[in-house]
């Protein structure tokens, strides 16, 4: 029956397209119901304990004071971190894989990268999916939480761009089909220290306090990980209908499931990226939530939904075989991305001749740290590695030194100085007296040598200008006249 109804709609769309907007048509097509997490009672209990035992996310008192001073309770303004995340809405789609926790955690990680290093990049989902499956023998499509996410990255110490080889998402079919070793980790974003989940205080506090605590995290340019649990009947049925059939401007009220007892339930995780409470009517205040279910056939072009801000933050549902479950869990990540540091294999190079030559120096740094090499002297030319991301090699050439003096130049590499020295052309003797090969010269006659270049007087001495007779050194005094470029050896009588 439903099939024939779609056929009629299609016929109408062809004959009178102006009467059938796309939004109406798309609602006639049955849309997919993406996967949600369905943990057993034991796993659920572990997740809840992780949430409750996690350290509380620290508030920034200056941010809190600023929010209050702006009067954002109960009516204030808006904030959005969405532009700090690099994503393609249609491709931000977990499909049939229940790894929403990876998508949400990665969103929080991406916001931290932008806040700390001013880098807006799309991070790999497949990196965790494939490597967790390979190393822990557990496919993240089975569900997880922010504690598992943070433990993985604490162990890895780096995050990988989506654009790396084999790092794009391929597990939308519901199974972990990638291989950890096939994913390139170069380039990468290094993480220093620990990574841990932090819980945002929203239960056992007032509604105003819960809202202020979430706003405080967002106002620090940090994302908020939001995990929520709904009963299948009256819960997920309603949310799927909301997601698939409502516009992004419609606000979802999650309170309908509070207090419900159920044997069938599921969980989902998303990332809160902003809020808006500038309407005088508090019923129109909402959180801006980024999902990982694509665009619902284009009806949600940004992959977003709005969630009622003035909700019941202490909401629970009662799960058969488990008991009361806190159905709204707000968290964030404590993570520090490593700042860039650079090392040069050497800081100088000396060329022993005046001839043209070449050299190179290796640079080591973090996988996504960019650097440049610039010559500070015309006779040194960069021939390779002038602009590099990650480890690299700077190659350079040195022109011929036609002068007599040694010269020194520098290259600035990643903000550090690399020094190049090159010897000059050895000075030639332009004339001498007595002439070379002269005979019958008295032993006390001064000997002079005139150079082709000005010499340093300190280098012309009895050690560098010597006279012998029959192989025996002749004692004498040495002097240098810079005006005539002449050195004189005067034998002692």
* Per-residue pLDDT, 26: 44
Rounded percentage of the chain residues whose pLDDT exceeds 70 = 91
DSSP letter string, 74-107: SS--EEE-GGGS---GGG-B-TT---HHHHHHHH
* Per-residue pLDDT, 70: 55
Neighbours of 240 (CB within 10 A): 17
Q: What is the greatest pairwise CA distance in the chain?
A: 131
| Mean per-residue pLDDT over the chain, rounded | 89
pLDDT > 80? residue 317: yes
* Cα–Cα nearest to 8, from 26, 27, 28: 28
Cis peptide, bond prior to residue 74, ω within 30 of zero: yes
pLDDT > 80? residue 230: yes
180 within 8 A of 128, measured Cβ to Cβ: no
d(CA 84, CA 271) in angstroms, rounded, equals: 13
* Per-residue pLDDT, 156: 96
Alpha helices in 232-385 (DSSP H): 237-245
Sheet of strand 447-451, all strands in order from the earlier edge strand to the far edge: 429-433, 447-451, 486-491, 476-481
* Cα–Cα nearest to 399, from 354, 439, 436, 434: 354
142: DSSP letter:
G
* Cα–Cα nearest to 110, from 143, 153, 140: 153
pLDDT band for position 426 (cuts 50, 70, 90): confident
Looking at the chain, the number of H-run helices and the number of E-run strands are 9, 27
Higher pLDDT, 1 or 371: 371
Please list, in sequence order, all residues whose beta carbon lies within 8 angstroms of the beta carbon of residue 65, skipping any fewer than 6 positions away: none
pLDDT > 50? residue 74: no
Q: Tens digits of per-residue pLDDT, 8-29?
A: 222 223 222 323 333 433 445 6
* Per-residue pLDDT, 15: 28
Instruction: Give the pairing of strands 286-290 and 265-276.
Output: antiparallel
d(CA 382, CA 358) in angstroms, rounded, equals: 10
pLDDT > 60? residue 348: yes
407 within 8 A of 422, measured Cβ to Cβ: yes
Instruction: Give the pairing of strands 286-290 and 476-481.
Output: unpaired
Q: Tens digits of per-residue pLDDT, 384-421?
A: 999 888 889 999 999 999 988 899 999 999 999 999 99
pLDDT > 90? residue 441: no
d(CA 373, CA 97) in angstroms, rounded, equals: 45
d(CA 493, CA 273) in angstroms, rounded, equals: 97
Q: 48 by DSSP, 3-state: which?
A: helix
d(CA 462, CA 447) in angstroms, rounded, equals: 13
* Per-residue pLDDT, 7: 31
Higher pLDDT, 31 or 29: 31
* Per-residue pLDDT, 6: 29
Beta bridge partners of 375: 411
pLDDT average, residue stretch 31-53: 96
Structure tokens at 137: 């023998």
pLDDT > 60? residue 104: yes
Report the Cα 99 to chain-centroid distance in Å: 22
């Amino acid at each position: 029956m439903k099939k024939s109804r779609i056929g009629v709609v299609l016929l109408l769309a062809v004959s009178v397209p102006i009467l059938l907007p796309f939004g109406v048509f798309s609602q006639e097509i049955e849309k997919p119901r993406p996967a949600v997490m369905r943990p057993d009672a034991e796993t659920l209990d572990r997740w809840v304990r992780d949430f409750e035992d996690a350290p509380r996310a620290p508030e920034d008192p200056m941010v809190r004071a600023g929010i209050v001073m702006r009067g954002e309770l109960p009516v204030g303004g808006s904030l959005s971190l969405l532009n700090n995340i690099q994503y393609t809405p249609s491709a931000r789609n977990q499909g049939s894989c229940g790894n929403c926790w990876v998508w949400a955690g990665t969103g929080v990680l991406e916001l931290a990268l932008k806040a700390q290093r001013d880098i807006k990049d799309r991070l790999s989902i497949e990196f965790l999916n494939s490597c967790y499956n390979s190393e822990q023998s557990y496919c993240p499509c089975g569900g997880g939480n922010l504690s598992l996410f943070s433990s993985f990255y604490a162990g890895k110490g780096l995050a990988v761009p989506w654009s790396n080889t084999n790092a794009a998402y391929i597990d939308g079919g519901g199974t972990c089909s990638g291989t950890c070793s096939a994913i390139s980790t170069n380039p990468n974003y290094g993480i220093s220290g620990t990574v841990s989940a932090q819980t945002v205080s929203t239960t056992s506090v007032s509604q105003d306090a819960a809202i202020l605590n979430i706003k405080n995290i967002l106002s620090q340019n940090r994302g908020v990980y939001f995990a929520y649990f709904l009963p299948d009947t009256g819960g997920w049925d309603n949310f799927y209908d909301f997601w698939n059939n409502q516009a992004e401007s419609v606000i979802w009220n999650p309170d309908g499931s509070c207090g419900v007892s159920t044997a069938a339930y599921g969980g989902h995780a998303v990332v809160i990226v902003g809020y808006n409470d500038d309407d005088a009517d508090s019923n129109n205040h909402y959180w801006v939530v980024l999902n990982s279910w694509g665009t619902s056939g284009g009806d949600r072009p940004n992959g977003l939904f709005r969630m009622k801000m003035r909700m019941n933050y202490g909401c629970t549902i009662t799960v058969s075989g488990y008991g009361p479950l806190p159905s709204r869990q707000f968290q964030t990540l404590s993570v520090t991305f490593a700042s860039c540091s650079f090392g040069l294999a050497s800081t100088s190079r000396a060329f022993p001749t005046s001839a043209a030559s070449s050299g190179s120096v290796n640079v080591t740094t973090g996988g996504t740290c960019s650097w440049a090499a610039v010559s500070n002297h015309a006779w040194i030319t960069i021939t390779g590695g002038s602009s590099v991301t990650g480890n690299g090699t700077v190659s350079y050439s040195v022109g011929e030194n036609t002068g007599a003096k040694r010269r020194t130049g520098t290259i600035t590499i990643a903000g550090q100085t690399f020094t190049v020295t090159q010897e000059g052309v050895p000075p030639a003797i332009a004339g001498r007296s007595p002439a070379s090969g002269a005979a019958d010269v008295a032993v006390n006659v001064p000997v002079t040598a005139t150079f082709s270049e000005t010499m340093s007087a300190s280098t012309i001495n009895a050690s560098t200008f010597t006279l012998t007779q029959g192989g025996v050194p002749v004692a004498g005094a040495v002097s240098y006249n810079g005006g005539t470029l002449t050195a004189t050896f005067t034998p002692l009588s």
